[in-house]
Amino acid sequence: MPVPPIDLSGQVAVVTGSTSGIGRALAEALAGAGASVVLNGLGDPAQIEQARAEIEQSSGRPVRYHGADMTKPAEIGEMITSTHREFGRLDMLVNNAGVQHVSPVEDFPPERWDLIIAINLSAVFHATHAAVPLMKAQGRGRIVNIASAHSLVASPFKSAYVAAKHGVAGFTKSVALELAQTGVTCNAISPGYVRTPLVDGQIADQAKARGISEEAVMRDVILAAQPNKRFVEYDHLSGMLLYLVSDLGASANGANFSVDGGWTAQ
């Protein structure tokens, strides 16, 4: 039997942290498959508006922007409820916003720990908390958390990030079990290294923390982790997301899908 093409026409998605990197690519993929999309994230307002307009034009779907700060629970809740108010539904929530800080634990600034836990973990709860009643009332919904290979394994100097991402993996399983009979699924996608601004920023930090050159970080630290010696590309993540949010993904629940070139198989 042929597999039907993925068509998200009439569906509505919120993608957190979608003004840059992976989130932007995922938002483009959802709009490209027919969904109306709400972008979110920080950045220069003119550049955000340009990105919004580009995705709207290329997809022909409504694309909005909400500036909720992922450290502020009330703003996260408002983003979810105002999306539902405008479009009359909410089908997909992609919890993607994330930040990183690389430092030995004894030097790790406590305020960076708090920030990483707030954005990478607590915001996933706050958005899910607001979205679940709306999705349950519809009898269908898709929550996809962008975790990381670091939700499954650790690296030195990333204690807050690894703790937050392991938390996301556990949260995903718990929510999936709660929702198992509602038509709403909750899964995680765990990328290996993707060449985004977040990774570019780490190269210099890793070099400093380890006392080696930036070239050595790329070769011996970053791509050393990935057996295929290649960065993960945006399309590899978009493909997994489209599967999960479509009807094809209806039986996937509580899972953590590695898209990491074999990193966590080691």
Rounded to 5 degrees, what angle do the CA atoms 193, 236, 180 make?
Answer: 100
Q: Are the CB atoms for 225 and 180 separated by under 8 Å?
A: no
Q: Does 238 bind ligand NAD (CB under 6 A)?
A: no
Q: How far apart are CA 188 and CA 253, in angstroms?
A: 9
Q: Does 21 bind ligand NAD (CB under 6 A)?
A: yes
Contact pattern from residue 48 through residue 87 relative to ligand NAD, giving x for each residue in contact according to CB under 6 A and a dash for the rest: ---------------------xxx----------------
List, in order, residues 6 or more apart from 228 with CB less than 8 Å away.
261, 262
Q: In the bound complex, what is the minimum distance in angstroms from residue 164's beta carbon to ligand NAD?
A: 8
Q: How far apart are CA 194 and CA 89, in angstroms?
A: 32
CB-based burial of residue 115 (10 Å sphere; 0-12 exposed, 13-18 middle, 19+ buried)? middle
User: 214-249: string of b/e by CB count within 10 Å (b at 16+)?
Assistant: eeebbeebbbebbeeeebbebebbbebbbebbbeeb
Judged by CB under 6 A, which of 94, 99, 179, 242 binds ligand NAD?
99
If the CB atoms of residues 120 and 246 are measured against ligand NAD, the closer one turns out to be 120
Q: Which of 161, 193, 234, 243 is catalytic?
A: 161
Q: Does 132 bind ligand NAD (CB under 6 A)?
A: no
Q: Among the candidate windows 2-10, 55-63, 91-99, 105-113, which touches ligand NAD by CB under 6 A?
A: 91-99
If the CB atoms of residues 41 and 247 are measured against ligand NAD, the closer one turns out to be 41
Q: Among the candidate windows 39-47, 103-111, 176-184, 203-211, which touches ligand NAD by CB under 6 A?
A: 39-47
Contact pattern from residue 168 through residue 207 relative to ligand NAD, giving x for each residue in contact according to CB under 6 A and a dash for the rest: -----------------------x-xx-xxxx--------
Tell me the site size for ligand NAD, rule CB under 6 A.
Answer: 29
Q: How many CB atoms sit inside 10 A of residue 266's CB?
A: 8
Catalytic residues: 161
Binding site for ligand NAD (CB under 6 A): 17-23, 40-43, 69-71, 96-99, 119-120, 146, 148, 191, 193-194, 196-199
